[in-house]
Chains A and B, each alone.
Chain A
Amino acid sequence: MIISAMQKEGVEIIFGYPGGAVLPLYDSLYDSELKHLLVRHEQAAVHAADGYARVTGKPGVVFATSGPGATNLVTGIANAYMDSVPLVLVTGQVPSGFIGTDAFQEADITGITLPVTKHNYLVKNAKQLPEILSEAFYLASTGRRGPVLLDVPKDVFDQEAPFEYNVECEIPGYNPTYDGHVGQISRAVKAIRDAKRPVIFGGGGLIRSGASTALQDLADKAQIPIILSLMGLGAYPGDRELFLGMPGMHGSITANYALSEADLIIATGVRFDDRVTGKLDSFARNAKIVHIDIDPAEIGKNVKIDVPIVGDVKIVLEAILKKLQPGDTAGWLKQIDNWQKQNPMPGGLKKTGSALKPQFVIKELSRLSDDHTIVATDVGQHQMWTAQHFIVRRPQAFLTSGGLGTMGYGFPASIGAKLAAPEKRVICITGDGSFQMNSQELATAVYNRLDIIIAIINNSYLGMVRQWQDIFYDKRYSHTLLEGNPDFVKLAEAYGATGMRAKDEHEATAVIEQAMQQKGPVVIDFVVEPEENVYPMVAPNRAINDIIIGGDRS
Chain B
Amino acid sequence: MKHVLAVLVEDKPGVLTRVAGLFSRRGFNIDNIAVGETVSPGISRMTITVEGSETIVEQVVKQLHKLVNVIKVSNLSEEPSVMRELMLIKVSAEVGSRSDIQQIVETFRGKVVDVSPDTMIIEVTGNEEKMEAIKMLLQHFGLKEIVRTGKVALLRGSKITREG
Q: Which A residues have a C-beta under 8 Å from some C-beta of B?
A: 110-111, 114-115, 118-119, 122, 139, 171-174, 295-297, 300-301
Contact = CB atoms under 8 A, between A and B. Distances in A.
Contact of B65 (A110, A172, A296, A300): A296
A118 B163 CA distance: 21
Given A172-B10, A173-B68, A300-B59, 18 more contacts: A110-B14, A114-B14, A114-B18, A115-B25, A139-B68, A171-B68, A172-B71, A173-B69, A173-B70, A173-B72, A295-B66, A296-B62, A296-B65, A297-B59, A297-B62, A297-B65, A297-B66, A300-B55
Output the residue of A118, A173, A296 with the most chain B CB within 10 A.
A173
B58 interface: yes
A271 to B, nearest CB: 13
A148 to B, nearest CB: 9
Interface in B39-94: 55, 58-59, 62-63, 65-72
Interface of B: 9-10, 13-14, 17-18, 21, 25, 55, 58-59, 62-63, 65-72, 163-164
A109 to B, nearest CB: 13
A174 B55 CA distance: 23
Nearest to A295: B66
B82 to A, nearest CB: 26
Contacts of B10: 172-173
Contact of B17 (A114, A119, A295): A114
A139 B55 CA distance: 28
A300 B58 contact: yes
Contacts of A122: 13-14
Contacts of A300: 55, 58-59
B63 A297 contact: yes
Contacts, number: 39
A174 B68 contact: yes
A29 to B, nearest CB: 28
Top 9 A-B residue pairs of the complex, sorted by shortest distance between their CB atoms: A297-B62, A173-B71, A119-B68, A173-B70, A172-B71, A296-B62, A174-B68, A115-B25, A297-B63
17 contacts: A111-B17, A114-B17, A114-B18, A115-B21, A115-B25, A118-B68, A122-B13, A139-B68, A173-B10, A173-B70, A173-B71, A173-B72, A296-B65, A297-B59, A297-B63, A300-B55, A301-B59
A122 B17 CA distance: 14
A296 B65 CA distance: 9
A171 B13 CA distance: 16
Output the residue of B9, B59, B66 with the most chain A CB within 10 A.
B66
A214 B140 CA distance: 71
Given A172-B10, A173-B10, A301-B59, A114 B68 contact: no
Contact of A173 (B25, B58, B63, B67): B67
Nearest to B163: A172
Contact of B21 (A114, A118, A119, A139): A114
Contacts of A118: 68
A408 to B, nearest CB: 24
B124 to A, nearest CB: 35
Nearest to B67: A173
A78 to B, nearest CB: 13
A115 B17 CA distance: 11
A115 B55 CA distance: 22
B23 to A, nearest CB: 12
A179 B9 CA distance: 26
A110 B58 CA distance: 28
A122 B10 CA distance: 15
Nearest to A122: B13
Contacts of A174: 68
A172 B65 CA distance: 11
Nearest to B164: A172
B33 to A, nearest CB: 18
A139 B67 CA distance: 11
Contacts of B71: 172-173
Nearest to A310: B62
Nearest to B14: A110
Contacts of B66: 295, 297
Contacts of A296: 62, 65
Contacts of B14: 110, 114, 122
A173 B163 CA distance: 9
Nearest to A299: B62
Contacts of B13: 122
Contacts of B70: 173
A118 B14 CA distance: 14
B29 to A, nearest CB: 18
A174 B65 CA distance: 8
A145 to B, nearest CB: 13
A110 B17 CA distance: 11
A182 to B, nearest CB: 21
A147 to B, nearest CB: 13
Nearest to A144: B66
Nearest to B42: A172
A169 to B, nearest CB: 12
Nearest to A119: B68
Contacts of B9: 173
Output the residue of A110, A111, A297 with the most chain B CB within 10 A.
A297
Nearest to A296: B62
A512 B58 CA distance: 52
A300 to B, nearest CB: 7
Contacts of B163: 172
A118 B13 CA distance: 16
A512 B81 CA distance: 70
A111 B20 CA distance: 13
A171 B71 CA distance: 9
Contacts of B21: 114-115
Contacts of A114: 14, 17-18, 21
A111 to B, nearest CB: 8
Nearest to B62: A297
A463 B63 CA distance: 37
A111 B63 CA distance: 19
A150 to B, nearest CB: 13
Contacts of A111: 17
Contacts of B67: 173
Contacts of B69: 173
Nearest to A173: B71
Contacts of A301: 59
